[in-house]
Amino acid sequence: MARKTYQLDIVTPEKTVYSGEVSSATLPGDGGYLGVWANHAPMVAALVPGSLTLHEGPSEVPTALYAVGGGFAEVSDNKMVLLVDNAEQAAEIDTVRAERALERAREMLAKALAGEEGIDADRARRAKERAEARIHVAYLRGK
């Protein structure tokens, strides 16, 4: 029997990254990962940087994998909208660039925590979390 599906839209400030039917999605909520299936109860959830896994059909193997930044998820009437700071498909992630970004973010965070003026610790922490999410997703895709 075919799995039921629902409409998913992933939207960043720049563009709609994904729009299509999925049977399930696993997303990084601020309290842990959330699984959303067809006919899910209405909800709004805060998202944190992490991996987003999509199943577009009956297979147990994910069909799409994204690194997403923070944002929000809204589920209602068999539709989910993810409003995220950024979303990058696994195949598009440059691992070397992500590792450099992580190193820079760690350095900035260390300086901010040491009290260096002019460095925003929250911004450095968010940059570190985004870079870690990108590296994690690249690892999951097998590179």
Is residue 1 over pLDDT 70? no
13-31 residue pLDDT tens: 999 999 999 999 999 999 9
CA gap 47, 26 in Å, rounded: 11
CATH number of 6-89: 2.60.15.10
Question: What pLDDT digit, counting tens, does each position of 40-95 carry?
Answer: 999 999 999 999 999 987 777 788 999 999 999 999 999 999 999 999 999 999 99
Any idea where the domains of the chain sit in the sequence? 6-89, 93-141
CATH architecture of the domain covering 93-141: Up-down Bundle (1.20)
Average pLDDT, the chain: 92
